[in-house]
Structure 1
Amino acid sequence: MATVLLIEDELSLGLIVRDSLEVRGFAVLYAADGEEGYALFVAHAPDVVVADVMMPKLDGFSLAARIRQTDPYVPIIFLTARSQTADVVRGFELGGNDYLKKPFSIDELIVRIQALLNRNQTVRPTTPDRLPIGHYHFDYPKQKLAFNGKETPMSHREAELLKRLYEQRNQVLERSVVLLDLWGDDSFFNGRSLDVFITRLRRYLKDDPQVQIVNVRGVGYKLIV
């Protein structure tokens, strides 16, 4: 039985979602604010986190950033009425795996939870901690990129994307595959978010001319080392 940590400050909605998840076989930990939610996360190590973005004491984005300091793998789904591109990009940057806009159906939430749980079984690492990328050293667990003694901290989403590019280095990483893997769907909106992260990775890797991320038109990207 998978354990879901649900953090939602709107009590009526939180109780409805909790009861619906329990009826469908999930164990649910429920908190009404971010601080309480983080305490439950530390105490119980849930399989997936479902968190509202706008919460008292600790908002969903700050909660995700705190969780990612100790666990880079647990799936995080944001619930929000906000859908501005900048908000979505920030949520993914801080470690979110999916974004569900209110109002939403319980069935859709459950499908997304199950998809992330299935995907997470294959994500936990077998790769070494430090990965050589040209003259860079990429520390995936610590989300840092080092070059000539200088370290660049990375967001969770940046590190996840670079890891997948590294695993497919000198081969094409299909755009649709990475969108489904990291963003949950390959919509135009998520595609724009992916473009933002690719631009950032290119900037991080610009000091070694032997390392490039190139577009493969209509297909995806290739990390050339």
Structure 2
Amino acid sequence: MASLILVVEDDPAMLAGLCDNLDIEGYRFHAAGDGKTARALFESEIPDLVILDRMLPDVDGAALCREFRRKSESLPIIMLTARGEEMDRVLGFEMGADDYVVKPFSILELLARVRVHLKHRALGRPGDVTTQRVGAAEVDFGTHRVLREGVPLDISAKELDLLRYLVERRGQVVSRDRLLSDVWGYRSDVSTRTVDTFVARLRKKIEADPSHPAVLLTIHGLGYKIVSDI
């Protein structure tokens, strides 16, 4: 069955355009022009991906993003916004967004990001990777589960993508630009604060003391690495 995408956008013309393009690409979709409708559609059938406008008439998009994230840890969420400031991006990521697209945007670029996120989610389904220890956590990339002292932790799809990428390159230093390109599919001119925000979120899950990381290290001037003896 084709992937289901929930599109939440209060501009009727943009909403129609997004849905038309998703239809052409062969996706199923649900369309919502406000938060109330989006919540009802989400409850009726949990989508495979959400495209979510940051500014809605009845609810803050970031708050709605946080609600969706609580209900589905692995759900990819792409946030749309007319705001380009870095701190607004950081807020979206902190609320659980996996990606951030600033209006006006290229529909081809957005569709490419949709494909990448859906592919990554499919690769994370049960049976493909065994559980392994990463710092203070037990991570099963196949079932999208992270346990710490036996307690399940919330982790977004993009956080898991980043952790998987670094674990697969354990002992190697990976630059922020490379992470943006390979994990997010961003161009080199996109702010690197994105990576820093996600690294901070991961450290809270895998480090015994996130303020003094011993597993996910910053190599100043170069990037990040997961230590090899994990």
* TM-score clears 0.5: yes
User: Structure 2: how far apart are the matches of 1:145 and 1:190?
Assistant: 31
TM-aligned CA distance change 1:68 to 1:196, over 3 Å:
closer
- Specify which of 207, 214, 225 is matched with residue 217 of structure 2: 214
C-alpha distance in structure 2 between counterparts of 1:98 and 1:199, whole Å:
16
Q: Is the 8 A contact 1:98 1:184 kept in 2?
A: no
Tell me the percent identity. Answer: 34
Rounded Cα–Cα distance in structure 2 between residues aligned with 1:145 and 1:87: 30
Match for 1:55: what amino acid?
L
Alpha-carbon offset, residue 144 of structure 1 = 7.0
For 1:223, the equivalent position in structure 2 comes to 226
Q: Distance in 1 between matches of 2:203 and 2:29?
A: 40
The answer to whether the aligner puts 1:191 opposite 2:199 as a matched pair is no
CA contact (8 A) 1:54 1:60 kept: yes
Q: Which residue of 2 aligns with 1:89?
A: 90
Relative to 1, partners in 2 of residues 1:17 and 1:191: Cα closer, same or farther, differing over 3 Å? Answer: same
Letter aligned with residue 32 of structure 1: G
- 1:136-189 superposed Cα distances (whole Å, 9 cap, x missing partner): 23567576756xx9x9x7763556544544454434445445323543315343
1:19 CA drift (Å)? 2.4
Does the CA-based 8 Å contact 2:93-2:197 persist in structure 1? no
Question: Quick one: distance in 1 between partners of 2:201 and 2:70?
Answer: 21
Quick check: 1:30 aligned with 2:31? Answer: yes
Check 1:11–1:177 CA distance in 2 against 1; reply closer, same or farther (3 A cut).
same
* 1:80 aligned residue: 81
Q: Which whole-Å deviations, capped at 9, do the CAs of 1:2-40 have from their partners, x for residues lacking one? A: 322111112222123222332343322111112321221
Matches within 5 A, 1:117-196: 117-124=118-125, 126-127=128-129, 132-134=133-135, 136-137=136-137, 156=156, 161-162=162-163, 164-173=165-174, 175-196=176-197
Per-residue CA deviations over 1:69-115 (Å, capped at 9, x if unaligned) read 23222221111101111111121232222222112233332222222
| 1:56 maps to 2:96 | no
Q: Distance in 2 between matches of 1:21 and 1:200?
A: 31
**1:97 and 1:182 in contact (8 A); partners too:** no
Unaligned runs of 5+ in 2: none
Can you list the C-alpha shifts for 1:117-152, whole angstroms capped at 9, x where unaligned? 2232223465567x5444x23567576756xx9x9x
Note if 1:105 corresponds to 2:95: no
Contact 1:97-1:184 within 8 A present in 2 as well: no
Q: For 2:213 and 2:92, how far apart are their aligned partners in 1?
A: 32
Relative to structure 1, the CA distance from residue 84 to residue 6 in structure 2 (aligned partners, 3 Å threshold; closer, same or farther) is same
Does residue 10 (structure 1) correspond to residue 49 (structure 2)? The answer is no
Of the structure 1 ranges 78-87 and 115-124, higher mean CA displacement relative to structure 2 is found in 115-124
